[in-house]
Structure 1
């Protein structure tokens, strides 16, 4: 995924940051991830930051759109597990969170932003079976973190934890 953004400082104490990220699948470039084929994803994230002397805190809001073909899996419509060979998944995530970080200039125009945050994300998924599996009586074990993400249609909400580092390039002068 390629991601970029802008941060605008209204004052030394308040800034707003907007980012957008896309993968090659958005442009029809073949891409896949494990059981996911024709994987297309884009995301947008916006933050309102309040800066103190050494640290900042902020509110972030984000949206993620994924569209892909998933292979050899199952989902549970109407309380009956249904196995499929291929299905089209439309997956959306809406989220918000509180973020704490520190921005440090490592040169005159390079900024290092390290942060930690927590919040909640609401996820919506639609599943369209393209090819039903012949064997509907099988057992399957997926890992804990991703096993049920695409296992049902509709909404759910989960907590989120964010930890990261971003590199910024300053285009104006440093105050």
Structure 2
């Protein structure tokens, strides 16, 4: 059963994926997000660009197979939430695909390739997903636990995992889409 915080994050994630705002997501929405991430680095090599496309295509296939109950090639908000709820309860590996997406997103935003993200690089992720960068400040503060101005790409991947799986309001994932009500 999805908790309130998870539902809020799932709704927010759906909103970021629904590029057209038509209350459906489809493969084109996922490809637009992958393409926007490719623009983060003008010098992005072909390997990473292809990895972004392939990872987002694979993520779409996981979502489509799990959620497109009527087979129309589109997923509604309700189908998306139900698929995540079922995936979390029935298949622990389900969320691994989302974590893989988070890893490739972090790699795309890691402009200097050091395996760490700074405030600017986190803001790039927010911009690529059309999420208000003002929300990134508290997320960054929670991720940068030692105050050195950086956090690892692994910590980012865990935050994305937590967006869908955690009910802990103290995590960075709890504030990733804005203040916790």
Q: TM-score, normalised by structure 2?
A: 0.25
Richer in helix (by share): 2
Q: TM-score, normalised by structure 1?
A: 0.26
Richer in strand (by share): 1
Q: Which has the higher contact order (CA 8 A, sep 6+)?
A: 2
